Structure 1
Amino acid sequence: MKKLIAVTLGILTAIGGFVDIGDLVANAQSGARFGMRQAWVVVVGVVGICVFAEMAGRVAAVSGRPVFDLVRERLGPRIAMTNLVGSYLVTLLTLTAEIGGIALTIQLASGLPHVLWVPLAAFAVWIVLWRVKFQVMEQVFGVLGLALVVFVVALIALDPPWGTFAEQLTHAGPPQGENWGTWGYLAVSLFASALTPYEVFFFSSGGGRRSGRRRTWRPSAATPSSASPSAGCSDWRSWAAPRRCSSPPASRSTSSARPRCRSRWRWGSWAWSW
């Protein structure tokens, strides 16, 4: 029972932490412009992150050393340093984007400029990092990330054209009026948002803590392969809602989707900011 609880909690945490600001921005842009035509990128990204994260956790659990330490041993200090510095820079950019995302969501809910909320959001993040234990941080904020269910509620409330979405899944190319350059750029953005370096740190540190203890690291090994597909389904939902709110003028004239988008925007912003 304890193992089942550990796996369940790990899956909930991974689902909440999988979809970050990079996923939300890329998904909204792709969904608004191309609909569900790039949903196949999620499948590729989910497979990649499953392999990526599980390998990092297993390597750390078996060797008792972090992945970057083994990279230094096998490939030399120069390549290892380049890899480590690049990973930290990408993680720093992700952190900056996350803080900006918090400020933007509070702006949507309060009406005040987001620049006023950026220092407050950064200070709140610093307080959390300073005072909250890492285990509590991992579990609590991951579970709170399940507020992404708001996309499911919004999608159902907007009454989308399910048949159109299904048709778009079978047509991967850009629609009429769009070019392949923009389509390719967003496809790369979607794939990159799924494979972020901090997930290697996350699962590598978890595997290192459970090194040599088979009973404790087995539940962790099941987490990425179980949670990432569920988080990928959440990605698809965050695609469809922006598409419905950004539907062409012809469809908006015969639908009440746009007024409902506006009316639910404020409470949805509060839910997501929390």
Structure 2
Amino acid sequence: MAQQADPPVEAPAADNPRTAARQRRLHWLWGPAFVAAIAYVDPGNVAANLTAGARYGYLLVWVLVVANLMAVLVQYLSAKTGLVTGRSLPELLGQRLRRGPRLLYWAQAELVAAATDLAEVLGGAIALQILFGVPLLWGGVIVGAVSMLLLTVQSRRGQRSFEFVVMGLLLVITIGFVAGLFVSDVAWGEAAAGLVPRFEGTESVLLAASMLGATVMPHAIYVHSALARDRHGDTGKAALGRLLRATRGDVLASMLVAGAVNIAMLLLAADSLRGVAGTDSIQGAHQAISNTLGPAVGALFGIGLLASGLASTSVGCYAGASIMAGLLKVRVPMLARRVVTLAPALVVLALGVDPTWALVLSQVLLSVGIPFALVPLVSLTGNREVMGEQANSLRLRIAAWTVVGLIVALNLALIVLTVAGIG
């Protein structure tokens, strides 16, 4: 075989316009992970993190750090699935499951998606009440209507425009929830001590499971594979390696932002809300933040919460549509699905259920649903028949199955301790 000539030696990136342009184009491929990351800063996170910080101070900081590290691996594997196979995770499962198991799997996935949507609409409604005094039920209607407009952007202007809108909302969310740290007095020594894994009773385990369910989101696992596939389409072998490199950067950057926002919320609550009466609801927490840190910080918190609800409910609807299309091969118009999935949240608001507690419980349900998304994801991405030469390496398989084991163990501990507490 004739030996190929060595490629010409290029100048360093800083001095080579072609390399610099290629790097810029690589960044231009970012986007799908930032859309998926909205699931990691939704109103369920707000409720879980504020509750954890107000009740236990810095005790559960470690949960957010570990969960975010897990999320980096999980979301990369999800995006990798879509890029390598050209199919979303629900589509791959739909091809492999018989009708009965497929329907059961779809039912649990839809239940998880419904719990997600419940949290997101409730959070947006609470934000509108905080900012403008809008009754919760009407707030839910407004959030649903605005989310339909956001979905219209995706259906009419394409995914890239939708990504830009969602990324803009993510910026608002970040400013809204991080701003308070600049005027608060966080005990950084205690926060560092919170990196040591430990619990304080059954309720702290319940909150840890809630935080985990709010951070490693089942519907984000399903939808990221579809987002990556829909954004980049079918790719050749040469382009695939470049896309996977871009995806790693996309995931790392987006999860860094989401992780920072979540930790900021917990630190803010630990500093400003611990021991303060009436902080067992988001409304009460907002009032306490406004009283302690000033009305401007309180207003930014409310704006961040509103942006979180609007963006996350739109992404959640996208995820639900991907799940249904993949598992049932049924495509329902996105706006029609939005109307149907909005109903449970409006019912909860109309019945007067405590919205903050409903948010926390919805995150526990999400935590229980995580293994149903994770186990197939890790199994399929380690399968050479599915992924070819891009199948997970042994080291990556060990890391991924360790993540699955930790999540399942936390859920089993939650069940055991909760039952023991009731007994």
Fold agreement, TM-score > 0.5: yes
Give the TM-score normalised by the residue count of structure 2: 0.56
For residues 25-52 of structure 1, what are the alpha-carbon distances to aligned partners after superposition, in whole Å with 9 as ceiling and x for unaligned? Answer: 1111111111221122223322332232
Greater shift in the superposed pair: 44-53 or 105-114: 44-53
SS in 2 for 1:158: coil
1:55 aligns with 2:88: no
Question: What is the rounded CA distance, in whole Å, between the counterparts of 1:142 and 1:62 in structure 2?
Answer: 25
Where does residue 362 of structure 2 map in the other structure?
Answer: none
Among 225, 242, 248, which residue is 1:204 paired with? Answer: 225
Q: How far is the alpha carbon of 1:58 from its aligned partner?
A: 1.8
Aligned to 1:245: 272
Q: Deviations over 1:131-183 (max 9, x none)?
A: 54333222212232122233322022122232332334347332xxxxx1101
Q: Distance in 2 between matches of 1:135 and 1:17?
A: 18
Among 12, 31, 46, the alignment partner of 1:24 is 46
For structure 1, which segment, 239-248 or 130-139, has the greater mean C-alpha deviation from structure 2 after superposition? 130-139
RMSD between superposed Cα atoms in Å = 2.7
Aligned to 2:251: 224
Unaligned ranges ≥5, structure 1: 175-179, 250-255
Q: Name the amino acid aligned to 2:299.
A: R
Q: Does 1:169 align with 2:190?
A: no
Q: What amino acid is aligned across from residue 153 of structure 1 in structure 2?
A: A
CA distance in 2 between partners of 1:44 and 1:89 (Å):
26
Rate the CA distance shift 1:153–1:106 in 2: closer, same or farther, 3 A.
same
CA distance, structure 1, for counterparts of residue 129 and residue 142 of structure 2: 12
The one-letter amino acid paired with 1:190 is M
1:226-264 per-residue CA deviation (whole Å, 9 max, x = no partner) reads 422442122111101112222336xxxxxx987334533
Q: Report the Cα offset of residue 195 of structure 1.
A: 2.0
- Deviation for aligned residue 1:121: 1.6
Contact 1:28 1:239 in 2 (8 A): yes
Offset, 1:192: 1.2
Distance 2:32 2:225 in 1: 14
* 1:146 aligns with one of 144, 153, 171: 171
SS in 2 for 1:224: helix
Unaligned runs of at least 5 residues, structure 2:
1-23, 277-287, 308-423
- Aligned with 1:2 (options 25, 29, 35): 25
Match of 1:81 in 2: 103
Question: What is the aligned partner in structure 2 of residue 252 from structure 1?
Answer: none
The answer to whether the Cα contact below 8 Å between 1:68 and 1:80 also exists between their aligned partners in 2 is no
Equivalent pair of 1:105/1:270 in contact (CA under 8 Å): yes
Specify the SS of the correspondent of 1:169: coil
Query: Separation in 1 of the partners of 2:289 and 2:27?
Result: 41
One-letter amino acid of the counterpart of residue 292, structure 2: R
Q: Indicate conservation of the 8 Å contact 2:40/2:214, yes or no.
A: no
Structure 1 ranges of 4+ moved more than 6 A:
none
Q: Helix, strand or coil for the counterpart of 2:139? A: helix
Q: What amino acid maps onto 2:73 in structure 1?
A: V
User: 1:53 offset after TM fit, Å?
Assistant: 2.1
Per the alignment, in what secondary structure is the counterpart of residue 247 of structure 1?
A: coil
Letter in 2 for 1:98: E
Alpha-carbon offset, residue 101 of structure 1: 0.9
CA distance in 2, matches of 1:185, 1:272: 23
Q: What amino acid maps onto 2:243 in structure 1?
A: W
Question: How far apart in 2 are the matches of 1:173 and 1:102?
Answer: 31
Asked if structure 2 preserves the Cα contact closer than 8 Å seen for 1:12 and 1:143, the reply is no
User: Bigger radius of gyration, 1 or 2?
Assistant: 2
| SS of residue in 2 equivalent to 1:233 | helix
Q: Deviations over 1:72-123 (max 9, x none)?
A: 4444343333223222221122122211211101111122322221112211
Asked if residue 234 in structure 1 is aligned to residue 234 in structure 2, the reply is: no
Shift of 1:17: 4.9
Q: Is 1:269 matched up with 2:305?
A: no
1:195 aligned partner: 216
How many percent identity over aligned positions? Answer: 19
Provide the secondary structure at the position in 1 that maps to 2:114.
helix
Distance in 1, Cα, partners of 2:290 & 2:149: 39
Count of matched residue positions in the alignment of Structure 1 and Structure 2: 262
Normalised TM-score (structure 1):
0.82
In the superposition, relative to structure 1, how do residues 40 and 168 fare at CA in structure 2: closer, same or farther (>3 Å)? closer
Partner of 1:260: 292
> Aligned partners of 1:17 and 1:171: how far apart in 2?
24
